[in-house]
Structure formats: structure tokens, C-alpha cells
Amino acid sequence: MRAFLGILGTLLVLAAGYFGMYRGWRNRQTRQADLSPLPAAPAETTRGIEGVYVATTSAGDWMDRIAVHELGVRATADLAVSEAGLIFHRQGAADVFIPADRLTGVRTDRGIAGKVTAEKSGLVVVTWTHDGRELDTGFRPRRKADTAALTASISTLIGAL
């Protein structure tokens, strides 16, 4: 009987924790409901650099994950850079398209919204504007050697505007 009560207590604590996380995510979505949907991605089939789409956050606040429009959903992805902008082709989530004219900066960083890397330049973070808000989107290339080339190509795209 004592073991049963211990297991039941543990399950209740876990259930309360998951319920709290669910409520927190729903409250965040409610607070961010005024953010309009992203523009549709062009019908471009080219694939880019493989990696992980980490998340989109409010610019300058690496822990304020954007919960609406699946922007806060981490997914395996590839990032294609084109004249139209950036397209994150995500597996299991909607693609994210950032038009070139909304890009304002690119940098490498150590962490963003739940993903912190050992090296200081493990993530490529793109700063952009949408619906009057400045946002940061993090991407971790699968191969470290791709980081510099990706950052350079996005910088070139921003400089061409």
C-alpha cells in the first residue's frame, strides 16, 4: 500500500507539472494573439543548409519564445537563402518564411529559448521585423563549417536591400 501511494503521489506531481506547462503555453499564446500570421512561403523547392530550427523569440529577450503560428516549435529543418528571403523548411511543422525586406541583422550566438550550445557561435540568429515587432529566430546548422557561410550569405542578402 505504501508503494502504491508513493507511485500515485509521483504521478500526481508529474501531472500537475505538465498541466502547469500547458497552462503557461496557452497563456503565452493568448498574450501574443495579436501577432498576424506570417506571409506564405514561395513555392520554392530548393533545399538549403541542414540543421535545427530552434525557435523565434522577441528580439533581445532570448527566453521570450513566440508561441503563436508555430514559431516556438523546435524542428529539424533546412534553411534556404534566396533573393526572396529565408525559408525554413521544417519537418513536422509549417515552413517559416521571412521576406528579405524584413531582415535587419544576423549574428552568431550561444543560445536562444531553451537551446544553449557549448561554443559561442553555435547558433545563427536572424533578427527581423513582423507586425511592428522585432524578432530573433535561431537556427543551428548540422555542420559547424556551415555557420560562417550561412551568416555571410544572410549578411549579403541584408546588405543588398
Domains and CATH numbers, the chain: 49-159 (2.30.29.30)
Q: Provide mean pLDDT across the span 8-25.
A: 86
30: part of which helix (H) or strand (E)?
helix 2-31
pLDDT at 120 over 70: yes
Output the pTM of the full model. Answer: 0.80
| Cβ density class 18-47: b for 16+ within 10 Å, e for less | eeeeeeeeeebeeebeebeebeebeeeeee
Per-residue pLDDT of 52-82, as tens digits, reads: 999 898 888 877 888 888 888 889 999 999 9
- Mean pLDDT of the chain, nearest integer: 86
| Cβ density class 96-125: b for 16+ within 10 Å, e for less | bbbbbebbeebebbebbbebebeeeebbbb
Per-residue pLDDT of 133-144, as tens digits, reads: 899 999 999 998
